Amino acid sequence: MTTPAFSPTGIRFENIDKRYGGLYALRRVSLNVAPGECVVFAGRNGSGKTTLLRIAARLVRASSGQVSYVNGQGEVFEARTATGFVAHATMVYDELTAEENLVLFAKLQGFSEPAGRAETLLREVGLLERRDSLVRTFSRGMRQRMAIARALLNEPSVLLLDEPATGLDPQGITWLADSLRRLRDAGRTIVMSLHGESEISSLATRAIRLDAGSIAADTRAGANLRSILTFADA
């Protein structure tokens, strides 16, 4: 497999329920994210943001309902090929070097030249000089760059990010915002959860507030978008 060219893809959430025993983490969530949108999920802790993102990445199975990835031509894609996922945690191995990590995941994803793909991404995230350093020696900001690089390995058309700014210093947040802006401008669909307003939330073209597992508000860019983000953080 060579590096795939992505096709702008949207996400369709249809009647998603997620129950843990008798407790609903998500209740009848239906939502269409258009190709190229940058959507922010806002809401208090426990409102269902992370669960919804993990269901979208197919890491968590919904109790009912389904998620599909469809491009403008109506073609349906598998989550594994369409998405890149950045979680709270870095999702890379501390005991491996930056290059070993990316080569490992590139091999698992079937790249014929995993070392070349790893080098390209390390250059993109500004870690090429530290390619031979163990990830455990990295700062939080560098680890987050590794997380982004790993998520971009398969050239995903949809990027799912769960509170990507957590623990980053102002410089790190600026780097992340610039990177996400480039990815959004290149036509990728971005769905992320955030707490409150930040440099990163300014990229959003749409904000959705979750409350107790349901969509409480959904607005496209403008003054309301700000109110959703700040209300959620109140």
Partner 1 sequence: MTLLSNTAVLLGKELRTEFRSRELLTTTVVFILTVVVLFSFTFDPTTSESRRFGPGLLWLAFLFAASLMLQPCFLREQNNDTLSALRLSVNDPFAIFLAKLIANTVFLLLTEMLMLPVFAVLYNVHILSVIPQLALVLFLGSLGVAIPGTAFSAISAQARMRELMLPLLLLPLLTPVLIASTEATAALLDPHPELRRDWLGFLAGFDVVFLTALWLFGEYLLEE
Report the alpha-carbon distance of residue 202 to residue 192 in Å, rounded: 12
Stretch that binds partner 1, among 27-35, 108-116, 191-199, 222-230 (CB under 8 A): 108-116
Q: Which of 2, 46, 75, 88 binds partner 1 (CB under 8 A)?
A: 88
150 near partner 1, rule: CB under 8 A: yes
Binding mask 172-211 for partner 1 (x = CB under 8 A): ----------------------------------------
The minimum distance between CB 106 and partner 1, in angstroms, equals 9
The minimum distance between CB 154 and partner 1, in angstroms, equals 8
Report the alpha-carbon distance of residue 109 to residue 70 in Å, rounded: 21
The minimum distance between CB 85 and partner 1, in angstroms, equals 6
Q: Which of 15, 80, 139, 182 binds partner 1 (CB under 8 A)?
A: 80
Binding mask 124-143 for partner 1 (x = CB under 8 A): --------------------
Amino acid at 180: L
The minimum distance between CB 213 and partner 1, in angstroms, equals 16
100 near partner 1, rule: CB under 8 A: yes
**Segment 44 to 73, residues that bind partner 1, using CB under 8 A:** 54, 57-61
Q: Which of 10, 31, 40, 90 binds partner 1 (CB under 8 A)?
A: 90
- Greatest alpha-carbon pair distance for the chain in Å reads 51
| Ordered DSSP codes for the chain | --PPPP--EEEEEEEEEEEETTEEEEEEEEEEE-TT-EEEEE-STTSSHHHHHHHHTTSS--SEEEEEEEETT--EE-HHHHEEEE-SS--S-TTSBHHHHHHHHHHHTT-S-HHHHHHHHHHHTT-GGGTTSBGGGS-HHHHHHHHHHHHTTT--SEEEEESTTTT--HHHHHHHHHHHHHHHHTT-EEEEE-SS--TTGGG-SEEEEEETTEEEEEEESSHHHHHHHHHHH-
- Count residues binding partner 1 (CB under 8 A): 27
Q: Which residues on neighbouring strands pair with residue 13, listed in sequence order?
A: 31, 67
The minimum distance between CB 70 and partner 1, in angstroms, equals 20
Beta-strand pair 9-20/158-162:
unpaired
Binding mask 12-31 for partner 1 (x = CB under 8 A): --------------------
Site residues for partner 1 per CB under 8 A: 54, 57-61, 80, 83, 85, 87-96, 100, 104-105, 107-110, 150
